[in-house]
Structures are given as structure tokens and as C-alpha cells.
């Protein structure tokens, strides 16, 4: 590959083609890989493709601004942790801790993802084509116009939205490798005191954590869902079957996803745990 | 050692133990370089205080003899152990376990292997079967012979472990020179117990080997329960109880691997309440009889024996476990990246549900695959 060679003060060098660079992660330790990514960012590169990724942690962690990452392979723990602004596309499966305490931006996983995805997420979007693990969206929160949203095409494990304080989780349960598994497991929304979980289909009441209500969606919910489902469908059109295994275009996929009823799960009172430790009245 | 003055001088330790396993169901041999490379990918899950591997099918020429792997403080300790072994067994072959000097492996013990068969005329007090007799020998050496521990005692298999990163321990034991049809590996980040040679994983008994990520909070209860059944814990690490419990439940009491997994990670009581009556009564009975064998706390374990491999998570899945298939090969690991390191193209990848075991047996030998 031709182009300029960029080095930071520690001597980590990458090659660039204008605003774009490709980094081969084969055999590169996570610290060196992240040094190379930072060297590229410091030199004004805004489009970074990292190939042959196998388990390197912290990719794009705490990166700010309008930067695009393409990750090919299986990125390691805490992909995009603390980040504010960047877009990450992963072509492969992601491991645990994707978007840990993420502060903004967008992560799109063209595969499945592991446990604690979106842990304490404060803003931004995470879209996953397939299944996700346990404790997804644990401790998500929102403040004024900063409302994080996770959309999952497949199924989720137990403790979905545990301790959730704000934001939204939309679980579709469609593109799953686990045909026999329920859409999500036990302790759904345990300790949840804010935000909302939307499920395509429904789950037995006993799966819900205490203090939660499962209700049909209304018009306002459907408007919200339509926007995020269309966004999801635009990312995965052609990779995702609307009916059966036949890949669908974005509009067909959106309609197919919205053709089944959704339910919403949220706390049935404001501050349900307000009196748990300290009496307030 | 003094704590850093400011919080930004802390270096967070990002470890958390790593497990990896691979089995070729048709018993085709897998070179040691594969599990070593997979464990290297998960280097940061350990902190250099424990690494180890178990390998099945490595002693085909001595497959009928029990292979005792011993770690000894010094040559005197080894001689004491040899004396005890000679008393109860015929030693068919005896040799040092081949090692090479590795800069990062400090003060290794004397490691030796004996291939043995029980004496034809066993002492009158030996009432159990041959396997019980072998277990008795292991317990006797580990509790009564100073400075010696048996860390492997199965047939046609062996454990190799010590203090170091797994790649260092593999280098030390020259595991790149072995071929096996099933391997497990472990990278240790000791939390509650010392990082010493005996405390590294795998933990073994007969042909059972266990690697574990997590911690067994019920260790005290499990240990006392095992003590009543003749198993004595000497290795100062929680995972030791899993090796002995699995031997007790499956070999001694005749439970299946599925039933043993229900003992280790039982369904919650509210789930039991929703079961049909017969099933509910069965689960209540299992819990009443084997409550002291329940494993509390987070775990992802790989259990191996001469029949195959089982992966199991605790019932709320507090540790990661990924399973993948490629033809006759099945992989189980803490991280998918480690599997991709040795096999880029996989037929299927999934994360098993909490408390639901994934059991992979060898294909019947001589039969059609």
C-alpha cells in the first residue's frame, strides 16, 4: 500500500491513504493496536479499518468525534467503551462489554454479541443483527435529550435491562441461532426504575422482575419503534430474512418486523425503589 | 508495597481467568501448538500466577497403565513418593516429565511420571474397585507424603500445570511436542487463594480434568461433604472440589453428566414450582440429597474425561463461555477470538444458556462417523 507513514512520539506508525487507513491486527497486542489507532487519529485520519482482529480489547475506547471504524474479525472486551461520537461497524461477532459506559455514537454488529452489552450506556445507539448474551443494557440511563437505544435482532439472555434507569431496549427475537430458546430469559428488568424495554412478541409474566408492568404499545410507542426499526433494517437489509431465510430490502424488512405486535415493559410507578433503603415520606 | 498516591497511578488488573477446550470427536490428533496459540490470545485473562493444560490420547503405547504425574519439592520427596507407590502398585515405567528451562518459570518443582498398575494382591483393607484404589493412593500421597502432590492420575491422559502464563508452562513442559485428540487449557488469575504450582488448573482425578473460570463460594460446604466420602482437599484452591465431586457423582453414584450438572447448577425453586409433578419431585429429591454438592458462585467450567468434554456455566451465567463447531471438532472457550485464532472458519458458534451443559462425546470407535 502506498501513502504517507504516520508515527506518534512513541514510534507507533501506520500507513494512510488520505483520510483513510487500514491496520492489520494479526499478532498485534491490544496496547500496540490501540497506540496505532490513536496515532492515526492524531494525524487526522477519520476512517479506520482494522482487519484480522482476534480478541484485542478496548478498540475505539474513549475516542471522541466524527470518526468511522470498520472492524473485521472478533474484537475483544469493551469495544467502544466510554466513546463519544464515533461509528463502529463490526463484521463478525463481538465479545463481552460492547459499548461499556458509552457516551454517544453508534455501534453496529453484523453478527452476535456477548454479555453486558451497553453496560451503563448514557447515549448513542447499538444495533446487533443476531443474539446477545446476559445482562444486556444493565444500568442504562438517560438525561434530557440523551437517550441511549439498543436494538437486537436476535434473542437475549437473562437479566435484560437489569437496574435500567433510562433509555430503550428493543428486542426483536428474529435473527437467532437459538431456535428453542425463549426471546429473553428470567429476571427481565430486575431492579429497573426507568426507561423502557420493547419486545416483539411477549414473555410469561413470571420472567419479569418485581415492580414492572407489561403493556401493549400505543401510537407514540409505535412511532418510536418505527424510527428505530427502520434504522435497524437499513443497516441489515440484505443480511436478514424478513420471512424465512430470504434476505429482504430495508422497507420490506421494516414492515415485516412491525407486522407482529410489540409489548413494552417499564416500572409501574415513579421511583419504585425510593423507599427501599431510606424512608422518604 | 505501597498503594499509589493518586488514582490515575493505579494500573487496573484486567484479568479474569480463561478456559479453552478442543475435542476431535473422531480422535484425530491435534498438535499442542493449537491450544497454546488459543490460550495466548487470552493472555490478559491471567496474570502469570497459573497456567496449565490437560491432554487426552498422549500415551497410546502405555494406555493400559495409570499415568501418575508428580510434583515434588526435591529428590528426597520424590523418593518418599516412589516408596509409597511401590508399596501399592507395580511401576511399569518411570521417567522425568520432559521439560526445558524457561526464564519466566521460576523455581519449578521436580516433575516426574510413573506409569503404574495396581498390585495383583492388594492389601486386605482395599475393599473398593481398582479406581477406588487409585483414588486412595492419590489421596494418601497428597495428604501423608510431605512435599509431594499427584497432579494427574488417569490413563492415556495427562495434566501439565504450574506457576506462569499458560504459554510459559507449555514451553516448560514442551507441550508443542505432544499430540492429543482432546485438550483443555487454563489461564489463571488467582483471587482468593495462593498462586502456587498445585493450585494451577487443571484439577484432576483418574481421567477427570477440570478447568474453571470463576470462584466456588460453596467451597467450605463442598469440601466437608467430600471429606465424608473419602476425598480430601489439599491443593488450596476452590476448583479442586469440582474434580472430586464429579468423580463422586458420576463414577461412584452413577449420575449422568446431565444429572451432575443439575446438582452443580440446579434450577431455581420458582422454576421447580412450575414443573409437572413428577419432574418437580425428582428435582426436589436431587436437591435434598445433593444440596451440599451445589456449586455456589460464578463459574464457567470444562469437564473432560475419556468419553469427551462438557462445558457448564453457573445458573445466572456470571462467566463467559462460547461453543463452536467445525466438522468433528468442537471448541469451548471464554472468548470466541481464541477459537478463531486456531480455526477461522466455523460451522456454528453459540453461547450456551446458564446452567445448561454442552456435552460432546467421542464418536464410537470403529463405527461409521
- What tens-digit pLDDT sequence spans chain B (369 residues)? 455 667 666 666 666 799 999 999 999 999 999 999 999 999 999 999 999 999 999 999 999 999 999 999 999 999 999 999 999 999 999 999 999 999 999 999 999 999 999 998 877 667 779 999 999 999 999 999 999 999 999 999 999 999 999 999 999 999 999 999 999 999 999 888 889 999 999 999 999 999 999 999 999 999 999 999 999 999 999 999 999 999 999 999 999 999 999 999 999 999 999 999 999 999 999 999 999 999 999 999 999 999 999 999 999 999 999 999 999 999 999 999 999 999 999 999 999 999 999 999 999 986 544
> Which of B337, B343, B353, B355 to probe by mutation at the A interface, max A CB count within 10 Å?
B337
Contacts of B270 in chain A (CB under 8 A): 206
Q: What is the pLDDT of residue B109?
A: 97
Task: Tell me if B41 and A55 make a contact (CB, 8 A cut-off).
Answer: yes
3-class secondary-structure state, position A117: coil
> Which of B8, B320, B321, B342 to probe by mutation at the A interface, max A CB count within 10 Å?
B320
Report how many Cβ contacts below 8 Å link chain A to chain B: 68
CB atoms within 10 A of CB A180: 6
Query: What is the C-alpha to C-alpha distance for residues B254 and A201, in angstroms, rounded to an integer?
Result: 42
Alpha helix (H) ranges present in chain B?
A: 33-41, 75-88, 130-144, 166-172, 219-228, 240-246, 257-264, 269-273, 277-290, 336-342
CA A250, A255, A261, A263: dihedral to nearest 10 degrees? 40
Say if residues A125 and A153 touch (Cβ distance below 8 Å). Answer: no
Q: Which three cell numbers stand for residue B182?
A: 482432546
Confirm whether B72 is a catalytic residue. Answer: no
Say if residues B181 and B31 touch (Cβ distance below 8 Å). Answer: no
Task: Tell me if B317 and A93 make a contact (CB, 8 A cut-off).
Answer: no
Contacts of A54 in chain B (CB under 8 A): 41, 337-338, 340-341
- Pick the catalytic residue: B17, B40, B72, B227? B17
Task: Tell me if B42 and A55 make a contact (CB, 8 A cut-off).
Answer: yes
Q: What is the pLDDT of residue B1?
A: 45
Locus of grid cell 478447568: B211
Section A126-146 average pLDDT: 97
Phi-psi region of B267 (alpha: psi -120 to 50; beta: other; left: phi over 0): beta
Q: Which three cell numbers stand for residue A100?
A: 461499556
Q: What is the pLDDT of residue B3?
A: 58
Quote the percentage of chain A above a pLDDT of 90.
80
Q: Quick one: DSSP state of residue B364?
A: P
Q: Which three cell numbers stand for residue A189?
A: 428488568
> Which of B336, B339, B348, B356 to probe by mutation at the A interface, max A CB count within 10 Å?
B336
Interface of A with B in 5-44 (CB under 8 A): 30
Q: What is the pLDDT of residue B8?
A: 61
Q: What is the pLDDT of residue B7?
A: 62
Contacts 24+ apart (CB under 8 A), B74-82: B74/B110, B74/B147, B75/B110, B76/B147, B77/B110, B77/B145, B77/B146, B77/B147, B77/B148, B78/B110, B78/B112, B78/B148, B80/B145, B80/B146, B80/B147, B80/B148, B81/B141, B81/B145, B81/B148, B82/B114
Min Cα distance A38 → chain B (Å) is 20
3-class secondary-structure state, position B274: coil
Comparing alpha-carbon positions, the chain A residue that sits nearest to B341 is A54
B19 φ/ψ angles, rounded to the nearest 5 degrees: -125, 150
Contacts of B350 in chain A (CB under 8 A): 131, 177-178
Q: What digits encode the pLDDT tens for the residues B325-361?
A: 999 999 999 999 999 999 999 999 999 999 999 999 9
Nearest to A74 among B44, B317, B340 (CB): B340
A57 touches chain B (CB under 8 A): yes
Is pLDDT at A47 greater than 50 in this prediction? yes
Nearest to A157 among B14, B349, B353 (CB): B353
Please name which of A234, A229, A227 lies closest in space to residue A249, comparing C-alpha atoms: A234
Q: Where are the beta strands (DSSP E) in B8-144?
A: 18-24, 30-31, 51-56, 66-72, 89-96, 110-118
Q: What is the pLDDT of residue A3?
A: 67
Query: What is the C-alpha to C-alpha distance for residues B80 and B198, in angstroms, rounded to an integer?
Result: 18
Q: What is the pLDDT of residue B136?
A: 94
Q: What digits encode the pLDDT tens for the residues A162-192?
A: 999 999 999 999 999 988 899 999 999 999 9
Say if pTM beats, i.e. exceeds, 0.90.
yes
Min Cα distance A52 → chain B (Å) is 10
Strands B182-187 and B51-56, bridge-based pairing: antiparallel
Q: Which three cell numbers stand for residue A276?
A: 427501599
One-letter-per-residue 3-state SS of A35-85: HHHHHHHHCCCCEEEEEEEECCCCCCCCCECCCEEEEEEECCCCCCCCCEE
Say if residues B53 and B182 touch (Cβ distance below 8 Å). Answer: no
Task: Tell me if A177 and B349 make a contact (CB, 8 A cut-off).
Answer: yes
Nearest to B337 among A74, A177, A187 (CB): A74
Min Cα distance B67 → chain A (Å) is 36
Nearest to B350 among A74, A178, A186 (CB): A178
Query: What is the C-alpha to C-alpha distance for residues A116 and A96, in angstroms, rounded to an integer?
Result: 6
First to last CA, chain A: 69
Q: Which three cell numbers stand for residue A223?
A: 412511532
Which pLDDT band, with edges at 50, 70 and 90, does A13 fall under? low
Task: Tell me if A206 and B320 make a contact (CB, 8 A cut-off).
Answer: no
Q: What is the Cβ-side half-sphere exposure of residue A58, based on CA atoms within 13 angstroms?
A: 14
Section A94-115 average pLDDT: 98
* Residues counted in chain B: 369
Is pLDDT at A106 greater than 80 in this prediction? yes
Q: Any residues with CB less than 8 A from the CB of B87 and at least 6 apart, and which?
A: none
Q: Any residues with CB less than 8 A from the CB of B125 and at least 6 apart, and which?
A: none
Q: What angle do CA A199, A203, A209 make, to 5 degrees?
A: 95
Is pLDDT at A242 greater than 70 in this prediction? no
What pairs with residue A69 in β-bridges?
A48, A88
Contacts of A73 in chain B (CB under 8 A): 337, 340
Is the ipTM higher than 0.85? The answer is yes
Contacts of B338 in chain A (CB under 8 A): 54-55
Nearest to A73 among B42, B340, B354 (CB): B340
Section A221-236 average pLDDT: 97
Task: Tell me if A55 and B353 make a contact (CB, 8 A cut-off).
Answer: no
Q: What is the Cβ-side half-sphere exposure of residue B326, based on CA atoms within 13 angstroms?
A: 11
Query: What is the C-alpha to C-alpha distance for residues B84 and B72, in angstroms, rounded to an integer?
Result: 14
Locus of grid cell 488469575: B189
Average pLDDT, chain A: 92
CA dihedral sign of residues B151, B154, B155, B159: negative
Say if residues A56 and A74 touch (Cβ distance below 8 Å). Answer: no
A236 touches chain B (CB under 8 A): no
A159 touches chain B (CB under 8 A): yes
Say if residues B305 and B210 touch (Cβ distance below 8 Å). Answer: no
Alpha helix (H) ranges present in chain A?
A: 30-42, 219-236, 250-258
Amino acid at each position: 500500500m502506498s501513502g504517507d507513514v504516520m508515527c506518534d512520539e512513541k514510534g507507533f506508525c501506520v500507513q494512510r491513504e488520505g483520510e483513510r487507513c487500514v491496520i492489520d491486527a494479526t499478532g498485534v497486542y491490544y496496547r500496540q493496536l490501540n497506540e496505532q489507532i490513536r496515532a492515526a487519529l492524531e494525524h487526522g485520519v477519520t476512517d479506520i479499518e482494522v482487519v484480522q482482529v482476534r480478541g484485542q480489547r478496548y478498540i475505539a475506547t474513549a475516542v471522541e468525534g466524527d470518526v468511522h471504524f470498520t472492524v473485521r474479525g472478533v474484537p475483544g472486551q469493551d469495544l467502544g467503551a466510554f466513546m463519544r461520537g464515533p461509528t463502529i461497524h463490526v463484521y463478525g461477532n463481538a465479545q463481552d462489554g460492547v459499548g461499556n459506559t458509552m457516551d454517544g455514537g453508534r455501534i453496529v454488529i453484523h453478527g452476535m454479541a456477548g454479555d453486558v452489552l451497553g453496560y451503563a450506556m448514557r447515549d448513542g445507539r447499538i444495533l446487533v443483527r443476531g443474539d446477545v448474551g446476559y445482562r444486556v443494557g444493565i444500568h442504562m440511563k438517560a438525561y434530557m435529550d440523551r437517550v441511549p437505544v439498543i436494538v437486537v435482532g436476535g434473542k437475549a439472555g437473562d437479566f435484560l435491562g437489569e437496574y435500567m434507569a433510562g433509555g430503550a431496549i428493543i428486542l426483536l427475537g428474529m435473527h437467532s441461532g437459538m431456535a428453542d430458546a425463549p426471546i429473553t430469559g428470567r429476571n427481565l428488568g430486575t431492579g429497573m426504575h426507568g426507561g423502557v424495554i420493547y419486545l416483539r412478541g411477549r414473555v410469561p409474566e413470571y420472567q419479569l422482575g418485581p415492580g414492572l408492568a407489561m403493556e401493549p404499545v400505543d401510537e407514540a410507542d409505535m412511532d418510536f419503534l418505527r424510527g428505530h426499526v427502520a434504522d435497524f433494517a437499513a443497516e441489515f437489509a440484505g443480511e436478514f430474512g424478513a420471512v424465512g431465510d430470504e434476505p429482504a430490502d430495508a422497507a420490506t424488512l421494516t414492515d415485516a418486523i412491525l407486522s407482529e405486535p410489540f409489548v413494552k415493559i417499564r416500572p409501574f410507578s415513579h421511583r419504585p425503589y425510593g423507599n427501599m433503603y431510606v424512608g422518604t415520606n | 508495597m505501597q498503594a499509589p498516591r493518586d488514582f490515575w497511578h493505579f494500573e487496573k488488573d484486567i484479568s479474569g481467568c480463561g478456559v479453552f477446550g478442543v475435542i476431535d470427536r473422531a480422535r484425530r490428533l491435534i498438535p499442542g501448538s493449537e491450544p497454546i496459540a488459543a490460550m495466548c490470545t487470552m493472555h490478559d485473562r491471567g496474570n502469570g500466577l497459573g497456567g496449565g493444560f490437560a491432554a487426552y490420547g498422549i500415551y497410546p503405547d502405555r494406555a493400559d497403565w495409570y499415568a501418575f504425574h508428580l510434583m515434588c519439592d526435591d529428590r528426597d520427596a520424590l523418593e518418599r513418593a516412589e516408596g509409597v507407590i511401590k508399596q501399592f502398585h507395580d511401576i511399569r515405567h518411570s521417567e522425568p516429565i520432559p521439560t526445558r528451562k524457561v526464564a519466566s518459570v521460576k523455581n519449578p518443582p521436580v516433575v516426574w511420571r510413573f506409569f503404574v498398575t495396581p498390585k495383583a494382591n492388594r492389601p486386605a483393607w482395599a475393599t473398593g474397585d481398582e479406581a477406588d484404589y487409585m483414588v486412595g493412593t492419590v489421596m494418601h500421597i497428597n495428604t501423608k507424603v510431605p512435599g509431594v502432590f499427584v497432579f494427574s492420575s488417569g490413563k492415556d491422559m495427562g495434566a501439565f500445570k504450574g506457576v506462569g502464563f499458560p504459554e510459559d508452562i507449555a514451553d516448560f513442559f514442551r507441550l508443542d511436542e505432544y499430540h492429543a485428540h482432546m485438550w483443555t487449557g487454563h489461564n489463571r488469575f488467582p483471587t482468593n487463594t495462593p498462586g502456587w504450582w498445585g493450585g494451577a488448573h487443571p484439577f484432576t482425578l483418574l481421567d477427570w480434568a477440570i478447568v474453571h473460570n470463576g470462584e466456588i463460594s460453596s467451597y467450605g460446604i463442598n469440601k466437608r461433604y467430600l471429606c465424608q466420602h473419602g476425598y480430601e482437599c489439599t491443593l488450596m484452591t476452590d476448583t479442586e472440589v469440582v474434580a472430586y465431586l464429579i468423580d463422586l457423582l458420576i463414577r461412584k453414584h452413577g449420575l449422568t453428566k446431565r444429572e451432575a450438572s443439575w446438582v452443580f447448577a440446579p434450577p431455581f425453586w420458582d422454576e421447580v414450582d412450575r414443573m409437572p409433578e413428577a419432574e418437580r419431585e425428582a428435582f426436589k429429591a436431587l436437591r435434598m440429597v445433593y444440596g451440599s454438592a451445589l456449586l455456589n458462585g460464578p463459574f464457567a467450567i470444562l469437564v473432560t474425561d475419556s468419553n469427551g468434554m462438557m462445558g457448564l456455566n453457573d445458573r445466572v451465567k456470571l462467566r463467559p463461555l462460547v461453543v463452536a463447531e467445525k466438522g468433528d471438532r468442537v471448541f469451548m472457550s471464554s472468548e470466541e477470538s481464541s477459537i478463531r485464532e486456531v480455526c477461522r472458519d466455523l460451522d456454528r458458534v453459540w453461547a450456551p444458556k446458564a446452567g445448561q451443559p454442552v456435552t460432546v462425546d467421542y464418536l464410537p470407535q470403529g463405527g461409521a462417523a
